[in-house]
């Protein structure tokens, strides 16, 4: 498994840092009858993975109410010592599988594909990482009546922000191509082969009419008006995504059928159909939302400061966002410090996260894919939250233009001020059953917090409580920021340091600098010594 390396288009590297190898192994959980499936082989897999500390396969561990306590402690002990794995909750994933019409027996016997995507074993073509939707951008469009950033007016900004994403320059040893130049070369090359709608591309880069006209926000009378505009922008973006996926799936079916894989998937042989044509018993398409916490914090800030308390006028907010808070730092600080933030067990912000996630899930679930199956919404983005932030303007939560978006269902880094229990309580309010393609919650702990048997038991109890509240997934980096900084400075001596990036693991020293910095800056829960 560790020798399988996927080949990615260079244009995609900014959203797939690592890159993930996507070979996944699932242990624990239940069998088709609902009985505990943990056995000696389960423990052998865990022990082997703990010893090797490899980035592949991507190890997923399922938990349910009858998971043996000693097995739970073994998993938590491996995690606190640096074995990178993802933890999943049968109590919400099985109902989620049933929610997308999978029979109960197959739902109970699910496995994880790729990063965090639940699917049936041997009977599904799920296309689990099919696309990414920037819902923070959708909120931006709602605040600008369908318009967005004008990149042509400020092309130097775009070049500067994309600068860290450099690529090897062919024929020039040690030379690098800036990523934006590679994008231009990509479009030029495609233009010689396909009919590219350059007028639409021009309009897109000018930021005009990207979304539907949903009303001048200065005329909004309540937060419900803004949420309604946001829903319409999400619906438009999701519909466009669905149209694009129709073309992609048709191209795969006509040009890249997979007869060998099809022979291993239930019902393809009986139907005489390749998986790309819909031969599998179950067919899904799984696009991911990016920027949930940004939307939640922004909606919470507008509700509280604009509509509830009247401390900020919508005209004032719109002007500040347009100018990226230039000359409006007091307003920005008010948005940062006086408004509730998702990740602190604050219902005002958490309910906005629940609503924003539900809107995305509802719109995605309306779609039917090329193979006749349904769409399954997820909330994660590998490292896309970094690149997507570059293309998203300033937002009402106080985030400036170009800053990274939040990752998965995790809060924005630095805003979770009440500890790990508050983070997990906030995340558990998102309706996990509707997020049928999975989500990612990243947690980082200082190793000092994990020392000793008593702290191991607390760590296990923390995760059990999260799952009891309705959490779907969680993964932990137990590493200090100081150690990561040393690895940046001396990569040769830290070549084996493995970290969780999104729903996958990677060697820290092989990540690009932007992703390394993002991992270092994640809030690390610790204690004073």
Active site residue 492: no
**Which of 53, 110, 117 has the alpha carbon at shortest distance from 85?**
53
- Provide the β-strand partners of residue 289: 133, 379
Is residue 319 packed enough to be buried (19+ CB in 10 Å), middle (13-18) or exposed (0-12)? middle
Contact by Cβ (8 Å): 391, 380:
no
Sequence-separated (6 or more) residues with CB below 8 Å from residue 135? 234, 237, 289, 290, 291, 292, 295, 356, 360
- Measured distance CA(2)–CA(496) in Å, rounded: 14
Instruction: Find the catalytic residue in 70, 106, 115, 361.
Output: 115
DSSP codes, 455-522: HHHHHHHHHHHHHHHT--EEEEEE--HHHHHHHHH-GGGGTT-EEE-SSSEEEGGGS-HHHHHHHHHS
- Measured distance CA(348)–CA(121) in Å, rounded: 39
Which pair of tokens denotes residue 327? 């000359």
DSSP codes, 181-215: HHHHHHHHHHHTTS---HHHHHHHHHT-SSS----
Which pair of tokens denotes residue 34? 């609902």
Active site residue 117: yes
CA distances from 98 to 91, 104, 272, 433 (A): 12, 6, 27, 9
SS3 74: helix
Matching residue, tokens 């994008």: 183
Instruction: Find the catalytic residue in 106, 117, 348, 416.
Output: 117
Q: Residue 242: enclosing H or E segment and its boundaries?
A: helix 223-255
Which pair of tokens denotes residue 116? 């965090």
HSE of 373 in the Cβ direction (CA atoms, 13 Å)? 25
- Provide the β-strand partners of residue 119: 111
Which pair of tokens denotes residue 12? 């995609």
Sequence-separated (6 or more) residues with CB below 8 Å from residue 370? 245, 246, 249, 250, 253, 278
Q: Residue 89: enclosing H or E segment and its boundaries?
A: strand 85-89
Question: What phi, psi does 25 have (nearest 5°)?
Answer: -130, 130
DSSP codes, 349-365: HHHHHHHHHHHHHHHHH
Beta-sheet pairing, 166-168 with 176-178: antiparallel
The number of beta carbons lying within 10 Å of the beta carbon of residue 191 is 12
Contact by Cβ (8 Å): 110, 93:
yes
Catalytic sites, residue numbers: 115, 117
């Amino acid at each position: 498994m560790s020798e399988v390396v996927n080949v990615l288009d260079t244009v995609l590297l900014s959203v797939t840092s690592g890159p993930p190898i996507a070979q996944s192994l699932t242990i624990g959980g239940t069998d088709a009858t609902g009985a505990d499936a943990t056995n000696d082989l389960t423990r052998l897999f865990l022990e082997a993975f703990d010893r090797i500390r490899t980035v592949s396969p991507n190890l997923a561990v399922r938990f349910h109410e009858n998971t043996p306590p000693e097995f739970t402690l073994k998993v938590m002990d491996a995690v606190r010592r640096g074995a990178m794995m993802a933890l999943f909750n049968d109590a919400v994933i099985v109902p989620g599988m049933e929610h997308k019409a999978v029979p109960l027996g197959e739902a109970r016997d699910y496995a994880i594909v790729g990063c965090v995507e639940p699917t049936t074993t041997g009977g599904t073509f799920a296309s689990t990482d099919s696309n990414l939707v920037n819902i923070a951008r959708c909120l931006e469009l709602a605040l600008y009546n369908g318009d967005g950033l004008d990149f042509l007016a400020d092309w130097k900004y775009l070049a500067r922000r994309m600068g860290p994403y450099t690529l090897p320059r062919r024929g020039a040893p040690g030379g690098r191509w800036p990523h934006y130049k590679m994008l231009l070369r990509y479009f030029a090359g495609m233009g010689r082969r396909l009919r590219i709608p350059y007028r639409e591309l021009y309009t897109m880069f000018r930021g005009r009419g990207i979304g539907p006209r949903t009303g001048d926000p200065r005329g909004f009378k309540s937060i419900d008006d803004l949420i309604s505009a946001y829903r319409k922008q999400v619906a438009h973006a999701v519909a466009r995504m669905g149209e694009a996926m129709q073309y992609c799936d048709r191209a795969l079916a006509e040009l890249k059928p997979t007869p060998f894989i099809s022979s291993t998937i239930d019902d393809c042989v009986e139907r005489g159909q390749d998986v790309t044509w819909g031969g599998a018993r179950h067919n899904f398409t799984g696009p991911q939302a990016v920027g949930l916490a940004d939307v939640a914090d922004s909606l919470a800030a507008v509700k509280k400061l604009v509509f509830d308390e009247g401390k900020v006028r919508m005209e004032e907010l719109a002007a500040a966002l347009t100018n990226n808070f230039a000359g409006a730092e007091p307003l920005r600080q008010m948005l940062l410090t006086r408004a509730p933030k998702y990740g602190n067990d604050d219902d005002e912000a958490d309910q906005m996260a629940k609503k924003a996630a539900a809107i995305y899930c509802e719109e995605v679930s309306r779609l039917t894919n090329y193979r006749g199956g349904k769409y399954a919404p997820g909330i994660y983005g590998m490292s896309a939250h970094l690149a997507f932030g570059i293309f998203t303007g300033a937002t009402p939560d106080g985030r400036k233009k170009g800053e990274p978006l939040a990752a998965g269902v995790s809060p924005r880094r630095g805003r979770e001020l009440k500890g790990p229990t508050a983070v997990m309580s906030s995340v558990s309010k998102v309706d996990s059953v509707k997020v049928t393609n999975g989500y990612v919650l990243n947690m980082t702990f200082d190793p000092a917090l994990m020392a000793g048997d008593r702290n191991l038991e607390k760590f296990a109890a923390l995760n059990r409580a999260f799952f009891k509240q309705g959490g779907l997934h969680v993964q932990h980096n137990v590493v200090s920021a100081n150690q990561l900084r040393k690895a940046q400075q001396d990569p040769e001596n830290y070549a084996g340091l493995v970290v969780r990036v999104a729903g996958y693991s990677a060697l820290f020293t092989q990540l690009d600098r932007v992703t390394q910095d993002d991992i270092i800056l994640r809030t690390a829960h610790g204690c004073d010594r």
